[in-house]
Structure 1
Amino acid sequence: MLRSMSKSKPAIQATSSPRQAAYTTLQRLVNSDLHADDLIDQELSHNQLQGPDRGLFAELAFGVLRRQGSLDHYLKQLVQQPLERLELPVLLLLRLGLYQLRYLDRVPSHAAVHATVELTNVILPRAKGLINGVLRSYLRQQESLTLPDPAQQPVAWLAAAYSLPGWLAEQWLQQFPQSEAAGLAAASTEIPPLTLRVNSLRTTRNALLERLQAAEFIAEPCRFAPEGIQILQRCQITSLPGFTEGLFMVQDEASQLVAHLLAPQAGQQILDMCAAPGGKATHLAQLMNDQGCVTATDLNARRIRRICESAERLGLTSIQAVAGDALGNDYLEGMQFDRILLDAPCSGLGVIRRNPEAKWRLTPAEISRCAARQRLLIDAAAARLKPGGVLVYATCSTAVEEDEAVIKDFLSRNPEFVVENGAQFFPEWADLFDNSGYLRAWPHRHGTDGFFAARLKRIDR
């Protein structure tokens, strides 16, 4: 098994086997820019997986991605050759089998080994002996497998124990004490809840909660977001009561807070610069009572259609969705806005519990490239803001380079802007704001995605 892990096309199509479907999904993700949740939804849409198999498939695919670093750490102690020299199918099959043995209590060990070997017989028959041998070795040796010493090798320990790339483990240890970095890493491996934002122009949170509970969905109000509801079980979004009626939008709680921080007023001219898929744009229109204008722009025309579709389903008419390059010379030429939201494209480190494949694709160089683009975007936003106006800069990143450093650089070059402490506007959210007045939501502290937001005011001189 000495072939390199080169990109390969999936050999398996939609199947009634949850393990085979998980293998196919993981294979398609290698060296791809596709998202795991999109591929999982594609597989489920074939309707060849039924009942509990649908849940097992999603658990296996997402679970292997969430725990990949830990799985590989243990595999290195079980496989006699370097993992990078294994054929890609062999490595994926080993991860699938080991994930079931180590993390799925409801799958008996003998069944997990047998099912993985049988799948190997379909995928790569000559690897059956290796797969069977490694998984049975794990069962014999699991108590003797070790992690790095957290005192002597804190980065290696955090990476192996909580499934992180080494560079991210090092970054979080620079931001937090070891115990809190571990808490953040642990929270980032958990399955996040499905969070809804109630369309307050058509219903109330209590009314929608009652409908959800009457339909036997386990639901509860969010801690911070006043329109937020968490669904505490797996479900299809389109099957939820009120979807076709436009009573809610799927949106994480931390993301919901950003529109409130901008605090748009009815009748104002608002710009959402990087608006797709439309969660924040529709929230802004909702907070304005659908009075005024929200100009929602994005580079991709296809994603612009998603904004329009969401606005139509929610019954919103104040959104004007426009395809455009925010860094282009003719971007919204001559237009000025009362308030601007820049939810800047970023590394997505704050949402790796939702997109676990991202942590294995990202590099420090990619974060630096994101930060360079973010500095250009915030300059473009500032050029479109009226004197006295408010600009909110936000990312779903945990990286200081993409967040505080971008704001510090911007303020050093634009003395007419000042930071407004969000805690002064939202004292009930005091726990969410740091000493600089920036909003910082964390999975391990607040149960939300990781999010950063700064509210900046342009002084009217």
Structure 2
Amino acid sequence: MKQQKSSSNNGQGASSRAAAAAALFQVLEKGESLSVALPHATNKLSDADKRLASAISYGVLRVLPSLNRLVGAKLDKPLKGQLKVLHYLLLVGAYQLYCLRIKDHAAVSATVEAARTLRKRNHKALVNGILRQLLREAPSTDESQQRELPDDPMQNHPRWLFDTIQADHPEHAKNILSENNAHPPMWLRINRRYANRDEYLKQLQNNDLAAEADLQASDAIRLHSPCPVEKLPGFAEGYVSVQDRSAQLAADLLNVNASHRVLDCCAAPGGKLLHLLERDSFEQPVQAIDIDARRLDRVHENLKRAGLSALIHCADVAATNDWWNGEQFDRILLDAPCSATGVIRRHPDIKWLRRAEDVSELASLQRQILDSLWSLLKPGGELLYATCSILRQENQTQIESFLKQQSSASLISISAEQNTLQLLPGNYNGDGFFYARLKKVE
């Protein structure tokens, strides 16, 4: 499995390797998301070390079973208890030797020294011995200075997810599994209030940033190579935001105009909300609701950066007495909580944090929210149901069940060819996403 280029100048850099091992320990032993664990583990590192720790952590999670097989075969017995973090340090070392363009001696040296950083200095010899044994037995590097990892029968996915993808998408399963282990492209969303897409493409070109426009999502631009947001012209002023092209389709499919009373449900962190506000000046404040106060902080931050405003509710959408004034909405966007199986390439920890039973629980929650929202929709109004999932139970099956049980609901076709829209990872270089448009019969 080929991975992204990274580099190291010398045998130093133990702090970045130790941080990656610590973050992986938190994810895989404590069930913490990588987006939380990694910033905590790297908060005292330089920017360069943060980038390397991030590249290693994400890479290990993409190919975890293959690395576990390599390392496990060299251990006389599993590392447990206080020594378990050393297992993750060995994965960090193996990933560098196989998948990163770091000189072998530098990778080994820095990883061995990281044992001291992790307060396991008495086990440096163990780390050194196993990594050098792996290196002796590893295949030769290819033209990109990387080594081929051993194949995994489930393409580095847990059994339940591998089987579900095979069952739900038999014709596309191989490609989905491959895409899930790939690095995602960086997509931008233009803020129409400040610039049009063609103008911004010229600005990117003037800054030596190669990019191209998407053919379907009207505000989307794909960078040929990812870059720090600080390098994007006008980012700090809100001229452009980072958002995948599949997610950007929500603004088109919601079919809004400035006179509509609009609700964005499960709105955090606010990308789709901002997109709506950037495109229209609404006569009434757009309302947004989410139950997670911490994630709503991101919504407020994003609104402030973009110079926009909305009426924000921190509440359970089902507890309507706590936040709703009784006036129905013309349009509702339900970005439903889901398994996030369409964005695994952006968040590879999802593969190891999700369980099969989670999907049924999420499907039940989705249905509860759908039922609660339906009474908030005006007759003749439209609700756009969206998930970043590729699983039928959360998508097609969910909508089919709702239509059977809700007599006032009808399905609006996405296009002449599609009643609903199921995008799979890699379609149009975008993430996996699902959309269904529902209308309330008058």
C-alpha distance in 2 between matches for 1:244 and 1:146? 40
Q: Does 1:111 align with 2:102?
A: no
Partner residue, 1:10: none
Whether the aligned pair in 2 keeps the contact of 1:267 and 1:288 (CA below 8 Å) is no
Pick which of 127-136 and 358-367 moved more.
Answer: 127-136
Unaligned runs of 5+ in 2: 1-12, 141-147
Q: Does 1:97 align with 2:93?
A: yes
Cα distance, 1:107–1:302 mapped onto 2, change above 3 Å? closer
Q: Deviations over 1:214-258 (max 9, x none)?
A: 223333223431101223434332442112222122211111001
Question: Residue type matched to 1:299 in 2?
Answer: I
Question: Residue type matched to 2:376 in 1?
Answer: R
Match of 2:427 among 418, 440, 445: 445
Partner residue, 1:177: 170
SS of the aligned residue for 1:387 comes to strand
CA RMSD in angstroms, aligned pairs only: 2.6
C-alpha distance in 2 between matches for 1:191 and 1:307? 26
Q: Does 1:415 align with 2:407?
A: yes
After TM superposition, give the deviation of residue 284 of structure 1 in Å. Answer: 1.9
Match of 2:179 among 181, 187, 192: 187
C-alpha distance in 2 between matches for 1:129 and 1:44? 25
SS of the aligned residue for 2:134 comes to helix
Normalising by structure 1, what TM-score? 0.84
Cα distance, 1:280–1:239 mapped onto 2, change above 3 Å? same
Match of 1:20 among 11, 18, 21: 18
Partner residue, 2:33: 35
Partner residue, 1:231: 223
Percentage identity across aligned positions? 35
C-alpha distance in 2 between matches for 1:281 and 1:405? 27
Cα distance, 1:84–1:455 mapped onto 2, change above 3 Å? farther
Whether the aligned pair in 2 keeps the contact of 1:327 and 1:377 (CA below 8 Å) is yes
After TM superposition, give the deviation of residue 392 of structure 1 in Å. Answer: 0.8
Partner residue, 1:140: 136
Counterparts of residues 357-436 of structure 1 (less than 5 Å)? 357-424=349-416, 433=418
After TM superposition, give the deviation of residue 210 of structure 1 in Å. Answer: 1.8
Question: Residue type matched to 2:315 in 1?
Answer: G
C-alpha distance in 2 between matches for 1:16 and 1:116? 6
Whether the aligned pair in 2 keeps the contact of 1:442 and 1:451 (CA below 8 Å) is yes
Cα distance, 1:286–1:292 mapped onto 2, change above 3 Å? farther
C-alpha distance in 2 between matches for 1:195 and 1:263? 22
Partner residue, 2:188: 196
After TM superposition, give the deviation of residue 138 of structure 1 in Å. Answer: 2.3
Q: Deviations over 1:121-156 (max 9, x none)?
A: 4432333333233223323334599967xxxxxxx7
C-alpha distance in 2 between matches for 1:214 and 1:42? 36
- Identify which of structures 1 and 2 has the higher relative contact order when contacts are C-alpha pairs closer than 8 Å and 6+ apart: 2
Question: Residue type matched to 2:46 in 1?
Answer: L
After TM superposition, give the deviation of residue 357 of structure 1 in Å. Answer: 1.4
Partner residue, 2:143: none
How many residues align? The count is: 421
C-alpha distance in 2 between matches for 1:84 and 1:68? 18
C-alpha distance in 2 between matches for 1:286 and 1:218? 24
Whether the aligned pair in 1 keeps the contact of 2:61 and 2:349 (CA below 8 Å) is yes
After TM superposition, give the deviation of residue 103 of structure 1 in Å. Answer: 1.0
Counterparts of residues 216-255 of structure 1 (less than 5 Å)? 216-255=208-247
Whether the aligned pair in 2 keeps the contact of 1:301 and 1:323 (CA below 8 Å) is yes
After TM superposition, give the deviation of residue 445 of structure 1 in Å. Answer: 2.9
Normalising by structure 2, what TM-score? 0.87
Q: Does 1:49 align with 2:71?
A: no
Q: Does 1:70 align with 2:66?
A: yes
C-alpha distance in 2 between matches for 1:183 and 1:84? 36
After TM superposition, give the deviation of residue 157 of structure 1 in Å. Answer: 0.8
Match of 1:315 among 283, 293, 307: 307
